[in-house]
Amino acid sequence: MSDASDRGGCERGGCEWGGCARGGCAALGDFASRVLDVVDQVPAGRVMSYGDIAEYLGTGGPRQVGRVLALWGDGASWWRVVRADGSLLPGHEQAALARYRSERTPLRESARGAVRVDMRRARWAG
């Protein structure tokens, strides 16, 4: 494996994390790197909300965490980061649901049939 200098300073290993395909690993700042590090730590079957991650880091907010995942989250366990109410990411519901079921993430279903992550049982404190 090449060293970080061969990857434009990317400590995450280059394209594996999707950064190179989205404008270069050098664009991955400290906040983004810290967000992705937290996402990497969330165990299978557990989740954190966007706001949980910002609070854990002590900086940024839910929207900033979401932006990091939108830009550089391709190689991360993006499905383990959800809205505070446990609702699934619009446009990615089926992919996320398949992951949740395979990881046995606690889910709940509404009377209308909408599926959400059961945040009371699935939330990981970090």
Q: What is the pLDDT of residues 50-73, one digit of tens each?
A: 999 999 999 999 999 999 999 999
In a domain, 30, yes or no: yes
Report, as an integer, the average pLDDT of 102-124: 94
Rg (CA), the chain: 15
Report if residue 125 sits inside a domain: no
With vertex at residue 80, the alpha carbon angle to CA 12 and CA 113, rounded to the nearest 5 degrees, is 155
User: Which pLDDT value is given to residue 5?
Assistant: 35
- How many domains does the chain contain in total? 1
Q: What is the mean pLDDT of residues 81-95?
A: 93
Domain-located, residue 3: no
pLDDT value for 43? 98
H or E segment at 115?
strand 115-117
β-strands 107-109, 115-117: how paired?
A: antiparallel
35 domain-assigned: yes
User: Which range has the top average pLDDT, 41-55, 66-80, 83-97?
Assistant: 41-55
pTM > 0.85: no
On the 0-12 / 13-18 / 19+ scale of CB atoms within 10 A, 50 is: buried
- CB-count burial class (<10 Å; 0-12, 13-18, 19+) for 13: middle
Within-domain flag for 67: yes
15: pLDDT strictly greater than 50: no
* C-alpha closest to that of 108 among 97, 124, 99: 97
For position 26, what pLDDT does the model report?
A: 52
Per-residue pLDDT at 14 exceeds 70: no
Q: Is 41 helix (H, G, I), strand (E, B) or coil?
A: helix
Domain holding 87: CATH number? 1.10.10.10
* Domain contains 1: no
- The whole-angstrom separation of Cα 62 and Cα 105 is 22
Q: Residue 95: inside a domain, yes or no?
A: yes
